[in-house]
């Protein structure tokens, strides 16, 4: 049985906004208005407008979901300040903190800041959320339902954790896709035909992820399970796990992404 969601206002319907909308429709979304100047046509059951001034008169959303680029926040959010006090604002903008959004929406705006990731498109996403001051228990429950429609959700009390979360799980799919890309390239370099190299790389990454999700063992143990002493995998890991290779590069990459998330708050 599907849930029935209250009326929602979705600001931005790109890849993430579209993925969330699809998940909500599966949960029994009753009514939605989308504000997106670039979307060609409204998805079934939704009203599409190109600008906030065209939102139908009398439309009262229970939640306003902000799925736009963080660079657009300053020019966009003040148009939705009129919904403060009646709707919870759920933001999936990278870097934009609650205080900054309240400065644009009004000090009384109830804001939930969240960071999902792109596997939301296949309902396998992971989202971490933080409720700002003034978010009621009912509003948090609604936000949990909305964000959970695309996969797993976790809540944190310290908003500052959303910056490293953005670096790890928000950007994480790109790092995994890069691994598949590099495995494919290396396979071709070793003489494997390109079509087979692509199939091998994609299936290996996808299958390993599925095993990781299904296993009670931690990632380190699963790695050890594949690594026979003095075997081929051990030889490869000797290169990848050198202190100047993956361990250092991954740490520096996550630190760089975390720093950029904090920069976007300004």
Helices (H), the chain: 15-26, 73-76, 98-105, 137-148, 162-165, 172-189, 194-214, 219-226, 232-240, 246-263
Whole-number pLDDT of residue 265? 84
Nearest-angstrom CA–CA distance, 46 and 140: 24
Q: Are 265 and 100 in contact (CB under 8 A)?
A: yes
**CA angle, 86 as apex, 82 and 92 as ends, to 5°?**
80
Coil, helix or strand at residue 7: coil
Query: Per-residue pLDDT for the chain (266 aa), expressed as one digit of tens each?
Result: 356 899 999 999 999 999 999 999 999 998 999 999 999 998 888 999 999 999 999 999 999 999 999 999 999 999 999 999 999 999 999 999 999 999 999 989 999 999 999 999 999 999 999 999 999 999 999 999 999 999 999 999 999 999 999 999 999 999 999 999 999 999 999 999 999 999 999 999 999 999 999 999 999 999 999 999 999 999 999 999 999 999 999 999 999 999 999 998 86
Give the CATH class of 8-162.
alpha beta
Report the relative pairing of strands 63-66 and 125-131 from DSSP bridges.
unpaired
CA–CA separation, 57 vs 37, rounded Å?
19
Residue with tokens 């604002």, as numbered in its chain: 89
Query: What pLDDT score does 79 carry?
Result: 97
Domain ranges, ordered by start, for the chain: 8-162, 172-263
What is the structure's pLDDT at 3? 61
Q: Which residues contact 252 (CB under 8 A, 6 or more apart)?
A: none
Specify the pLDDT at position 43: 86
Classify 200 as helix, strand or coil. Answer: helix
pLDDT of residue 1: 39
Fold designation for 172-263: ProC C-terminal domain-like fold (1.10.3730)
């Amino acid at each position: 049985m599907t849930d029935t969601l209250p009326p929602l206002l979705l600001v931005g319907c790109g890849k993430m906004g579209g993925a969330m909308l699809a998940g909500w429709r599966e949960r029994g979304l009753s009514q939605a208005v989308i504000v997106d100047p670039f979307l060609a046509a409204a998805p079934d059951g939704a009203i599409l407008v190109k600008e906030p001034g065209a939102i139908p008169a009398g439309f009262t959303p229970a939640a306003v979901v902000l799925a736009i680029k963080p660079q657009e926040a300053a020019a966009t959010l003040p148009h939705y300040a009129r919904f403060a006090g009646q709707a919870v604002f759920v933001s999936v903008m990278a870097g934009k903190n609650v205080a900054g959004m309240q400065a644009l929406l009004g000090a009384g705006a109830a804001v939930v800041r969240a960071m999902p990731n792109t596997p939301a498109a296949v309902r396998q996403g992971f989202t971490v959320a933080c409720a700002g001051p003034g978010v009621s228990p009912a509003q948090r429950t609604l936000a949990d339902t909305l964000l959970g429609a695309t996969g797993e959700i976790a809540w944190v009390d310290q908003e500052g954790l959303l910056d490293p979360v953005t670096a790890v799980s928000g950007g994480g799919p790109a790092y995994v896709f890069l691994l598949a890309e590099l495995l494919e390239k290396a396979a071709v370099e070793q003489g494997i035909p390109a079509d087979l190299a692509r199939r091998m790389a994609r299936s290996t990454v996808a299958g390993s992820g599925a095993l990781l999700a299904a296993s009670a063992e931690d990632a380190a143990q699963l790695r050890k399970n594949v690594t026979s002493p003095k075997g081929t995998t051990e030889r490869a890991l000797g290169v990848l796990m050198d202190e100047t290779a993956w361990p250092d590069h991954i740490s520096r990459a996550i630190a760089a992404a975390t720093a950029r998330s904090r920069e976007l708050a300004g």
